[in-house]
Amino acid sequence: MIDIRVQQEDFSVEAALAPLEALGGGAIASFVGLVRGDDGVEALTLEHYPGMTEAALRRLAEAALDRWSLLGAAIVHRVGMLRRGERIVLVAACAAHRRDALDACAYLIDRLKTDAPFWKRETRAGQESWVDARAGDEAAAERWDHVGDSHRSSPRP
């Protein structure tokens, strides 16, 4: 089961996790990203290409399901203008055991930061500027290229 949503409106973490909970696994790992308030950021505006973005997110979720023994994965990503403290993204993975769920969740957020087609503008003191990719995001995503699949606990159901 894969649930991909790109939307302007806020989301309920509980509602986003409910379909994964219904799968009957033993573990759900999730990550919720918020608009940071550091460095004077007042707002973050996210743009995307509908269709292309959802397809890229689905490919990431499919890769996680192929790599780990998951029952399901969910990605909810907001677009539009978001203020400090608002939710931007939720990624979640459901598995029989915690290790697969935790690893898949970390993989999804790390790869999403570099592989998903979103464009970001920050507003600081009323001035807007495009956000460049951070070197730390690239390094986090690349580390998954060196993590083997030997830890896979069982074939995907």
Query: How many residues belong to the chain?
Result: 157
Task: Look at residue 156 and tell me if it is in a domain.
Answer: no
Task: Look at residue 153 and tell me if it is in a domain.
Answer: no
Task: Look at residue 151 and tell me if it is in a domain.
Answer: no
Q: What is the pLDDT of residue 125?
A: 86
Tens-place pLDDT, residues 44-67: 999 999 999 999 999 999 999 999
In whole angstroms, what separates CA 20 from the centre of its chain?
Answer: 15
Please give the model's pTM, rounded to 2 decimal places: 0.87
Looking at residues 74-99, what average pLDDT do you find?
Answer: 97
Q: What is the pLDDT of residue 145?
A: 79
Q: How many domains does the chain have?
A: 1
Q: What is the pLDDT of residue 140?
A: 65
Looking at residues 113-134, what average pLDDT do you find?
Answer: 86
Q: What is the pLDDT of residue 151?
A: 46
Tens-place pLDDT, residues 132-143: 767 676 766 677
Q: What is the pLDDT of residue 153?
A: 45
Q: What is the pLDDT of residue 156?
A: 42
Give 157's Cβ-side CA count (13 Å radius). 10
Task: Look at residue 150 and tell me if it is in a domain.
Answer: no
Closest CA to 82 of 32, 138, 17: 32
Q: What is the pLDDT of residue 148?
A: 53
Task: Look at residue 157 and tell me if it is in a domain.
Answer: no
Q: What is the pLDDT of residue 132?
A: 76
Residue 29: give the domain boundaries.
2-144
CATH of the domain at 135: 3.90.1170.40
- 45, 120 contact by CB (below 8 A): yes
Task: Look at residue 134 and tell me if it is in a domain.
Answer: yes
| Residue 96 or 154, more confident | 96
SS3 content of the chain, % helix, strand, coil (to 5): 35, 35, 30
Residue 57 token pair: 């997110």
Backbone angles phi, psi at 94, to 5 degrees: -115, 130
Q: What is the pLDDT of residue 142?
A: 76
What is the number of other CB atoms lying within 10 angstroms of the CB of residue 25? 21
Radius of gyration of the chain (CA): 16
Could you tell me the pLDDT band of residue 29, with boundaries at 50, 70 and 90? very high
| Residue 23 or 127, more confident | 23
Task: Look at residue 18 and tell me if it is in a domain.
Answer: yes
